[in-house]
Chain A
Amino acid sequence: EPEVTQTPSHQVTQMGQEVILRCVPISNHLYFYWYRQILGQKVEFLVSFYNNEISEKSEIFDDQFSVERPDGSNFTLKIRSTKLEDSAMYFCASRRTSGSRTGELFFGEGSRLTVL
Chain B
Amino acid sequence: GDSVTQMEGPVTLSEEAFLTINCTYTATGYPSLFWYVQYPGEGLQLLLKATKADDKGSNKGFEATYRKETTSFHLEKGSVQVSDSAVYFCALPGEGNQFYFGTGTSLTVIP
Residues of A near any B CB (own CB < 8 A): 31, 33, 42-43, 45, 48, 50, 55-56, 91, 93, 95, 98, 101-110
Chain B interface category by residue count: 20 to 34
Interface of A is mostly: strand
Q: Contact between A56 and B97 (Cβ–Cβ < 8 Å)?
A: yes
Q: Find B31's partner among A93, A102, A110 (CB 8 Å cutoff).
A: A102
B69-111 vs A: 1/0 string, CB under 8 Å? 0000000000000000000010111111111111110000000
CA distance A109 to B43 in the complex (A): 4
Q: Contact between B104 and A103 (Cβ–Cβ < 8 Å)?
A: no
B34, B89, B92, B93: most-surrounded residue (chain A CB, <10 A): B93
CA distance A76 to B46 in the complex (A): 23
CA distance A95 to B92 in the complex (A): 13
* B29: chain A residues within 8 A (beta carbon): 101
Known contacts A43-B44, A109-B42: A104-B96 contact under CB 8 Å: no
The answer to whether B45 has its CB under 8 Å from any CB of chain A is yes
Task: For residue B100, give the distance in angstroms from its CB to the closest CB of chain A.
Answer: 8
Q: Contact between A50 and B31 (Cβ–Cβ < 8 Å)?
A: no
Q: Contact between B99 and A45 (Cβ–Cβ < 8 Å)?
A: yes
Q: Contact between B97 and A43 (Cβ–Cβ < 8 Å)?
A: no
Q: Contact between B34 and A31 (Cβ–Cβ < 8 Å)?
A: no
Task: For residue B46, give the distance in angstroms from its CB to the closest CB of chain A.
Answer: 5
Q: Find A55's partner among B91, B92, B97 (CB 8 Å cutoff).
A: B97
Please name 9 further chain A to chain B contacts, defined as beta carbons within 8 Å, in addition to the given A101-B93, A101-B95, sorted by A numbering.
A33-B99, A45-B99, A45-B100, A55-B96, A91-B43, A95-B99, A101-B31, A101-B94, A105-B44
The answer to whether B51 has its CB under 8 Å from any CB of chain A is yes
B11-44 vs A: 1/0 string, CB under 8 Å? 0000000000000000001111010100000111
Q: Find B97's partner among A48, A102, A110 (CB 8 Å cutoff).
A: A48
Q: Find B93's partner among A98, A106, A110 (CB 8 Å cutoff).
A: A98
